[in-house]
Copies of this chain bind each other. A is one copy, B any other.
Amino acid sequence: MSGERELTAKGLATRERIVEYAAAVTRERGAANTRMECVRVAANVSNSQLFHYFPQGKAEMMIAVARYESRTILADQDARLRTTRTWRAWDEWAEALLGHYDENGSRCGLAALLGQLDQDAPEIREVLAGLLESWEQAIAAGIRSMQSARKISPDLDADTTAGTIVTGILGGIVQMTVTGSTNRLRATVRASIATLKAARQ
């Protein structure tokens, strides 16, 4: 047993499985209301295992959950946005985003974590800040693709616009968790695309 962690492939797999179930519970109940006991039952592991893989306890686990959600969202968005060269692709991006929430009914891994920022967990804040940053970059890359394809004017500031779009999505998600309706998210995402189209070339 060295100072650092050495996990076998099996160990890593188990740890990852725990994180996935923990993320699911967190999405369902919010980070604050996520009980280690619930995760234990959901992941079907023993208590010892939980604390074996997360010696720092719940705090460490929630950071892992934040990283997991972050990775998941970014992988999806990156794939959809990096080489977006048609208006149709943007419409599909928007509908995919909205469709996700229409299906999952305001369960949102991002929103579930946002509620937990008050705690003593600056690391979660950092992870989420990184997620927002990368998300902006993915959208900015999509905008630049459109500019390369001469469909959006090069005068449009891709970074600023991308930032505003992410802010709008975030606000829409929050409104969804408050009101239970995706109306505002829908309106905002469509307004974002309208803004892009207003800069048509």
Chain A residues with CB under 8 Å of chain B are 29-33, 112, 114-119, 125, 128-129, 132, 160, 163-164, 166-172, 174-175, 177-179, 183-185, 187-188, 191, 195, 198
Interface centre among A31, A175, A185, by most chain B C-beta atoms within 10 angstroms, is A175
A128 neighbours in B (Cβ, 8 Å):
178
Whether A132 lies near B171 (C-beta < 8 A) is no
Whether B174 lies near A188 (C-beta < 8 A) is no
A168 to B167, CA, bound (A): 6
- CB of A119, distance to nearest CB on chain B (Å): 7
Whether B179 lies near A132 (C-beta < 8 A) is yes
User: Known: A129-B179, A175-B132. Is A30-B118 also a contact (CB below 8 A)?
Assistant: yes
